[in-house]
Amino acid sequence: MLWRIDARPGRVSTFTLSWFLFAAGIAMYFYASNKRHIENPDDKVIPSLQQLREGMSNAFLLPDSEEAAPEEFANASIATKFFTSMLWTDTLASAKRFVWAMLLLVPAVILGLHMGMFPVVGQLFLRFILFFDKIVALSVLPILFIAFGIDELSKIMLIVIGVTPTIILDTFNLTKGVPQEQLVKGFTLGAHDFGVTYRIVMKQIMPRVLNSIRLNLKAVMLFLFAGEMIASQDGLAFRIALLRRHMGMNVIIPYVLWVALLLFLVDFGMRIANRRLHPWFREA
């Protein structure tokens, strides 16, 4: 019986169960779309398959310009059209901000590690970080725009302010969770403070730190989208906000699915990297 605690679904059952909700969601979407288009053939709220196909073609193959495409572009290959398309241009703009924000999370991990290992550092930063973590990041967005302008730095800083305190505190708690016996053993074998910190503690907590960052990817994109929607001239969120004014649901939906696919691939890549870097680690 599939409903027993000790049930072990076979290969066919596993495949069917894992894709069932996707199939059900797609079927419900096209059922609702067909019903609305029967009542109103020009409906744009729930695009039909043909409208989605046109929207995807516009996003994936047309340049980010309202002007007519030049003749050489019209005769270009599909690959050339894609790498000069509206979707690719927006993806590169958002990816650049995303990568910079992720790189700036590295000092957060180091700070959390040192807060957990060195009492003086912990006493200096802990209460401030706990208070800073309670500030709603979006509430300081006007301050960031005034202080840093509406260029790239303000959007990156919004992501850092929104996610960094969580990563710092999570790293701090993971560091505190390492058994003291292991630290004493390290000192007994002749390790110094930084040797224990980086060669014993950091190696143990890094798999869970990477998982923490991986689970915060959605928050990173949330703050990135907030910054792009309010003040930007390019990016995935900027395009979605722009299309919303024209009810361009046939392009918005492919954009949303594209963002979800990119985040899924980043998440998958981080899981693979974590497994390769820490083959000894097993989830609880």
Higher pLDDT, 5 or 158: 158
Question: Of 220, 132, 217, 129, whose CA–CA distance to 171 is shortest?
Answer: 129
| Full-model pTM | 0.86
Strand partners, 85: 63
Instruction: Give residue 9's pLDDT.
Output: 80
Say how far apart CA 268 and CA 235 lie, in whole Å: 23
Instruction: Give residue 206's pLDDT.
Output: 95
**Structure tokens, 4:** 């027993």
Where are any strands of DSSP class E within the chain?
none
Say how far apart CA 126 and CA 115 lie, in whole Å: 7
Instruction: Give residue 259's pLDDT.
Output: 94
Q: 40 vs 35, 47, 50, CA distance in Å?
A: 9, 11, 15
Work out the pLDDT band at 231, boundaries 50, 70, 90.
confident
Question: Of 221, 219, 223, whose CA–CA distance to 140 is shortest?
Answer: 223
What angle, rounded to 10 degrees, do the helices at 236-244 and 86-103 form?
130
Q: pLDDT > 70: what percent of the chain?
A: 94
Say how far apart CA 36 and CA 174 lie, in whole Å: 52
Asked if 199 contacts 191 with a C-beta cutoff of 8 angstroms, the reply is: yes
Average pLDDT over the chain, rounded to an integer: 88
Work out the pLDDT band at 217, boundaries 50, 70, 90.
very high
- DSSP SS3 for 44: coil
pLDDT digits (tens, 9 = 90+) for 96-142: 999 998 998 999 999 999 999 999 999 999 999 999 999 888 888 88
Mean pLDDT to the nearest integer, 262-268: 95
Strand partners, 63: 85
pLDDT digits (tens, 9 = 90+) for 159-202: 888 999 999 999 999 999 999 999 998 888 888 899 999 999 99
Instruction: Give residue 70's pLDDT.
Output: 55
First CA to last CA distance, the chain? 26
Asked if 197 contacts 114 with a C-beta cutoff of 8 angstroms, the reply is: yes
- Residue 55's contacts (CB-CB under 8 Å, 6 or more residues apart) are 47, 248, 249, 250, 251, 253, 254
Asked if 112 contacts 133 with a C-beta cutoff of 8 angstroms, the reply is: no
Work out the pLDDT band at 1, boundaries 50, 70, 90.
low
Q: Does residue 68 carry a pLDDT above 90?
A: no
Residue with tokens 């790498």: 83
